[in-house]
Chain A
Amino acid sequence: MSDVRTPLLSVNDLEVTFYVHGHAVSAVAGVSFEIMEGETLGLVGESGCGKSTTGKALMRIVEPSKGTVLLEGVDITKESGKSLRSARTRMQMIFQDPISSLNPRRRVKDIVAEPLDCWKTVTGLERDTLISDLLSKVGIDPSVYGNRYARQFSGGQCQRISIARSLAMRPKLLICDEMVSALDVSVQAQILNLLEDLKAEYGLTLLFIAHDLAVVKNVSDRVAVMYLGKICEIGPADTLYESPAHPYTEFLLGAALEADPDSPMHAQTLEGEPPSPMNPPSGCRFRTRCPNATQKCADVEPLPQEVAPNHMVSCHYPLTIHHQSTTRTPLEG
């Protein structure tokens, strides 16, 4: 269904390198993906895999060291100064910590109006109407709460205010960085539903970054799985969860805890912990923990290959193929 649509965002070979005590750490090591207009792409992975850094690099909050980020055909990585500031308003970001993403010393109305005040697009009465409208949309009564300070609100309410602020400039793309992971289950569900409603109403395109597989599945059309700075698998949410092609995805899904006593207990849990990004393994980055790894995995870096329509995996021995074929040559070439 996404064939006819044009990509709103296309990321090509994005790299982010940090320098820690003189050592280069590639937090994001060559990530490419596209997000179609009106689509939600989920980005999952464990801490340190570079998913948040990817989101921040798209907004140029951290500087990409390589690669291009095209938003509606304009390369964000080449912008600077005022045009960068202006480009950023077409993308917005919602952060993980609802409390620290709002200035405790400013009133709710002013926080939501911040982008409007920066750009002076609307002023006076029009501005006030717009702010009231936005606050009502996210379920905050502007007449009661508009003049309160941000520090007086609970986590869920803060996240609603953040959403209102991010929508003020009518962005095309919303990057949600772990936006519900600090919230209680019941509040989390409210925020997720609100996000789906607003997405439809404002015609938003979402990049939804989270570590919680269930949450990502619930909101995403497609899901990308990251491991140690690279995307190892990307595909439609339902098929990717049903038949993961990358061994890492399978482990990740197996470790996810379902709120159901009858859910099958996965006998195999992934042992060990991810290697340091300062010193990533050669070839496939997952090979040190992968039960199927062979010499080839150490020698050759697997390139993305299509295992099903729109379903790409970077693995020499993708699981779906592995299940179908009866023979597998451990050493090729």
Chain B
Amino acid sequence: MSDDKLLVVKDLTTTFATAGGDLAAVAGVSFDLERNETLGIVGESGSGKTVLSRTIMGLQPRVNTTVTGSSIIDGFEVVGASENEKRTIWGTEVAMVFQDPMTSLNPVMRIGKQIDEALRVRLGMNRKDAKARAIELLELVGIPSPVQRYNAYPGQLSGGMRQRVVIAIALACSPKLLMADEPTTGLDVTIQAQILNLLDELKERLEMSVILVTHDLGVVATRTSRIVVMYAGRIVETGTTRDVFYHHRMPYTRALLESSPKVSNKSHTRLITIPGRPPNLLNLSDGCSFAPRCKYATDQCHLVRPELQPSVEPGHSFACWNPLPVNAEATLP
């Protein structure tokens, strides 16, 4: 069964040892990803989405960090693998697109050389083939006049163009899974739409799977088939994109949807807010992490942590003691 899954994450936990005690940035996360699928991981800052995406790839920091559970990418167990072993899958099986293209590109190296490097080191290409392939990749990600741009420095490109270069580098060794961590945050709306279209198109053309990690529900709404909603290091709801948006059972999911302003709102629409702010991961209660901000919370919520339980639709599950009724569709504003 799990053979055909590209990624199987099971009970993954990432703990940082900090001055204030152990901090579980990711706690017992399990999900899997089909081939040629786009999955969205949604959460606010501190929800653990970035740590999760990096732990899945085995990119967690080496010091003061403990990872347990399992993350299997195309049959390769990442947890516990050595840096050298992981290097065999980085680039070829899984690649990453970072949020800030300015810091993930080397500012004093021509962009062509940065793509070449991956090709020559990883695929053993010679200089000439690598250059030809690099130009091909630049063209693939929609960079106009790639032959000239090959010699440009990152500083000479706009933010959108830089992000395209980052994507080209990620695609250099034809990975099966592309991990995109806030790939469009900080880009303008029109550029954001271009980059998301590009990722969609590349996913189809290259038959990859994509994980979109974002805080922006708008980014995942039309681009993903399934969504994982995270809060305080745990999955609180997961299901198909439509189920999460229209049939959500977890009050946090609804609160998140309700509190984001919409273009279709009339002006001066009062937003429904979530009181309080995301919890301090250092002293979480034994109960549901969202309970202190939840209007439906009962004593049980504060004392016992709810586990993920299936909802009516296949593949849709949520972690809540007092879930919203099944017919939640009409409530979406």
Contacts and interface: CB of A to CB of B under 8 A. Distances in A.
Interface string A200-239: 0000000000011111011111000000000000000110
A239 B17 CA distance: 54
B328 interface: no
The number of chain B residues touching the other chain, given as a range, is 35 or more
B192 A255 contact: yes
Contact of A190 (B217, B219, B267, B273): B273
Given A213-B263, A238-B266, A255-B193, A184 B217 contact: no
A218 B241 contact: no
Nearest to A264: B222
B245 to A, nearest CB: 5
A192 interface: yes
B43 to A, nearest CB: 9
Given A185-B256, A186-B44, A218-B267, A263 B221 contact: yes
Contact of A193 (B188, B256, B271, B278): B271
A13 B260 CA distance: 35
A237 B242 CA distance: 30
B262 A269 contact: no
B259 A251 contact: no
A189 B261 contact: yes
Contact of A269 (B197, B222, B275): B197
A47 B219 CA distance: 19
Contact of B218 (A184, A217, A238, A256): A256
A160 B191 CA distance: 31
Contact of A186 (B219, B241, B255): B255
B191 A214 contact: no
Contacts of B332: 260
A217 B267 CA distance: 5
Given A46-B190, A238-B266, A257-B216, 15 more contacts: A185-B44, A185-B217, A186-B255, A188-B261, A213-B189, A214-B265, A215-B261, A217-B263, A219-B268, A241-B263, A254-B193, A257-B193, A258-B221, A261-B221, A269-B193
Interface of A: 46-47, 154, 156, 184-190, 192-193, 196, 211-215, 217-221, 237-238, 241, 251-261, 263, 265-266, 269-271, 273
Interface of B: 44-45, 158-161, 188-194, 196-197, 215-219, 221-222, 241-242, 245-246, 255-257, 259-275, 277-278, 332
